[in-house]
Chains A and B, each alone.
Chain A
Amino acid sequence: MTDLSDQAQFDIDARISERVDLLGALPKAPLAMPLQRLELPRRVGLLTLLIHLRPARTSRAGH
């Protein structure tokens, strides 16, 4: 006898989803795909060094 109070049985979308999950599942056969290196690590060039050059800090002690 059908239990009419069980509303889940009328949710067609949910039942389709369940069925798709069951029938559509991809085979489990994992394969690693390591990330490739495409960018060179940033190197600090001479020009960058010159631009970021700051006066050397000196101690105030003694003044």
Chain B
Amino acid sequence: MAKRGQDEAVVTLTRSLSLMAAIAAACGGFLLFLQYGASDGLDIIDVLRSALIFASTFWLAWGAAQAIAGLTTRPPLHARTAGPITTRTAILVPVYNEDPVATFARIAAMEASLRRTGFGDLFDFAILSDTRDDRIAAKERHWFLRLLAETGADGRIFYRRRQSNKGRKAGNIEDFIKTSGAAYPFAIILDADSLMEGETMVELVRRMEAAPDLGLLQTLPVIIHAKSRFGRVMQFAGAFYSPIFARGLAMMQGKTGPFWGHNAIVRVRAFAESCGMPALSGKPPFGGHILSHDYVEAALLARAGWTVRVDDDIQGSFEEGPENIVDHAKRDRRWCQGNLQHSRLLLAPGLRLWSRFVFLQGILAYIAPVFWLAFLGASILAPLFAAPIDYFPIKDWPFPVLPVSQASKALGLAVGVVGLLFVPKILIVIDAARSGRAQGFAGKARALQSTLVELVFSSITAPIFLMFQSRSVLQVLRGADGGWPAQTRGDGSLTLAQAWAASHWMVTNGVVGLGLANWFAPALVPWLLPVALPLVLAPVIISWSSRQSQSRLFQTPAERQPSSVMKTQHLILTRWQGKETPVEPDLPGSAVMNA
């Protein structure tokens, strides 16, 4: 009991300190910019721009505070059962117009990995198809039979296709629970591109068995199998920075942790009792089915008194990511709509305060780029609203009074903003070098080089994401529903023409923005170049970054030393795709032995 009270005190302290630090940084930014703006007379545009700086700086500082919270703490020891596990667990794999060969190869690899733990018989797989394309569905049925034939797991691997995909992914899971939920105390929810070590699944069950109040346990999935330049940078960033940010998040969230929709285990009874998801009144994008259902499910579990936790120390949990900026933006469009839809739930009855704050954070993540864009637009137009400078403000004084330049304040603000973006990442490199974690990233020097290049790359691509996200927000506010597009997986290289088709509007905006700045506020042009140039070059950047990466930078532990389940998946997939592959006799499991 005393330990629980201590934990809650630490969570409250971390939240309070982080919030205060973020508000202090935002106030600093606000005051600096207000002084800068007031140097030639205060007007409404100056106040507006200062307010936008406040909101944007708060968001950046909040992220930095999360990293620092992660760096200054170590993962706590979580209770787990020892000895044999006894609980039956369903592994749910929802699919929606996915490539069945790749998806089912992952399942075969996980099945083999589970057998190696000795607890394979306690885990069943349920492939929950929401596929709308009949040709893909026919392939799914074909590959399901092959999966059964090769694994010999009849009665442990199930496949069902829904006639109607009501409720989308949340509805798909709900349908499983209503049909078979009582047969399984626990369910591991995966995505079609998820991969998990058998030992990791057993560990998840051990932790659930040891904590009866635990409703959901989220792992931190590591991105794998990235091939393109963009994909590998994201893979590196995910593996190198995310564990620290996730630890900070865990420190702040306490018992009200996150659910990211996959690579997590749930207590089925808790989930069934608490997470029946209603459609919201009204039409999409704000009404209808809840798109980002995972955040809401985490909030509902917490509302019902269950603990929701993210354990950043669990290894062996993987996913795949988009290979190019356009696919990333498409996925982001869906998340944007889902997060903005949460504005309807901010006042939902009975939610924990932190759950409401999580919704607000999700909304801010997409609104913040609009604030930056509005700030840039307001800065270009500011000279139109500025009063002419009065060089003789003192009556009867014959000499002119020149205004004092406040450019140093603007420079200080810019340095502060860049610092909030860069310093956490640099601190993470130092921590990785000190703790030995950098070894997994090809050593200290390579990890530092990778981080520096990642900083440059993310700075160049930031304006492109800013534009995509701002457009998404405007589309949602305009009432446009993004639907539920299937995710593009696999090789995502884009030609220059394809990149141009996706981003020519950015080029236009970049050129027009620079032209307007040159017309209204020429002094602003050098400040705008870091934002405008990447926009003008967006098609080149998008196409170039989608090409296959040959760099020795951005190596990750999973890339350098693929785990056992990754090797198994590779063997099975290459054989199923009809490619030559060597047999590794030390890997057991009938599917693997056939590889």
Considering the complex, which residues of chain B in the window 336-365 have a beta carbon less than 8 Å from any beta carbon of chain A? 344-345, 347-349
Partner of A34, one of B154, B158, B276, B349: B276
The answer to whether A40 touches B277 (Cβ under 8 A) is: no
A9 at the interface (CB under 8 A from B): no
The answer to whether A20 touches B182 (Cβ under 8 A) is: no
Query: Which residues of chain B are near A27, meaning CB under 8 Å?
Result: 158, 180, 183
Q: Mark B305-324, 1 if CB is under 8 A from A, else 0.
A: 00000000000000000000
Q: Mark A30-61, 1 if CB is under 8 A from B, else 0.
A: 11111111111000000000000000000000
- Given A23-B154, A24-B144, A39-B344, CB of A30 within 8 Å of CB of B181: yes
Query: Which residues of chain A are near B273, meaning CB under 8 Å?
Result: 33-34
Partner of B278, one of A16, A32, A35: A35
The answer to whether B141 touches A36 (Cβ under 8 A) is: no
The answer to whether B345 touches A35 (Cβ under 8 A) is: no
- Given A26-B126, A29-B181, CB of A39 within 8 Å of CB of B275: no
**A contact patch SS:** loop
Which residue of chain B lies nearest to A41 when distances are taken between CB atoms in the complex?
B349
A4 at the interface (CB under 8 A from B): no
The answer to whether B148 touches A29 (Cβ under 8 A) is: no
Query: Which residues of chain B are near A19, meaning CB under 8 Å?
Result: 145
Partner of A31, one of B138, B178, B274, B281: B178
CB distance from A32 to the nearest CB of B (A): 7
The answer to whether B141 touches A31 (Cβ under 8 A) is: no
Considering the complex, which residues of chain B in the window 258-282 have a beta carbon less than 8 Å from any beta carbon of chain A? 268-269, 272-278, 280-281
B542 at the interface (CB under 8 A from A): no
CB distance from A36 to the nearest CB of B (A): 5
**Interface range, B side:** 35 or more
The answer to whether A16 touches B348 (Cβ under 8 A) is: no
Partner of B160, one of A26, A32, A33: A26
Which residue of chain A lies nearest to B345 when distances are taken between CB atoms in the complex?
A38
B426 at the interface (CB under 8 A from A): no
The answer to whether B180 touches A36 (Cβ under 8 A) is: no
Which residue of chain A lies nearest to B155 when distances are taken between CB atoms in the complex?
A23
User: In whole angstroms, what is the CA distance A44 to B154 when docked?
Assistant: 58
B142 at the interface (CB under 8 A from A): yes
Which residue of chain A lies nearest to B183 when distances are taken between CB atoms in the complex?
A29
Q: Mark B284-314, 1 if CB is under 8 A from A, else 0.
A: 0000000000001000100000000000000
Partner of B182, one of A16, A24, A29, A39: A29
Query: Which residues of chain A are near B276, meaning CB under 8 Å?
Result: 33-36
Partner of A20, one of B144, B174, B296, B345: B144
User: In whole angstroms, what is the CA distance A17 to B348 when docked?
Assistant: 44
- Given A30-B178, A40-B347, CB of A24 within 8 Å of CB of B160: yes
A63 at the interface (CB under 8 A from B): no
User: In whole angstroms, what is the CA distance A50 to B159 when docked?
Assistant: 57
CB distance from A38 to the nearest CB of B (A): 5
B435 at the interface (CB under 8 A from A): no
- Given A26-B126, A38-B348, CB of A32 within 8 Å of CB of B178: yes
B176 at the interface (CB under 8 A from A): yes
- Given A16-B141, A31-B269, A31-B272, CB of A38 within 8 Å of CB of B296: yes
CB distance from A60 to the nearest CB of B (A): 40
Query: Which residues of chain B are near A36, meaning CB under 8 Å?
Result: 274-278, 300
Interchain residue pairs with CB less than 8 A apart (20): A17-B141, A20-B141, A20-B144, A23-B145, A24-B127, A25-B160, A27-B158, A29-B181, A30-B182, A31-B178, A31-B181, A33-B174, A33-B272, A33-B275, A34-B273, A34-B276, A35-B277, A36-B274, A36-B277, A39-B344
Which 7 A-B residue pairs are closest in the complex by CB-CB distance?
A31-B181, A24-B159, A29-B183, A29-B182, A35-B276, A33-B276, A31-B182
Interface residues of B (CB under 8 A from A): 126-127, 138, 141-142, 144-145, 148, 154, 157-160, 174, 176-184, 268-269, 272-278, 280-281, 296, 300, 344-345, 347-349
Interface residues of A (CB under 8 A from B): 13, 16-17, 19-20, 23-40
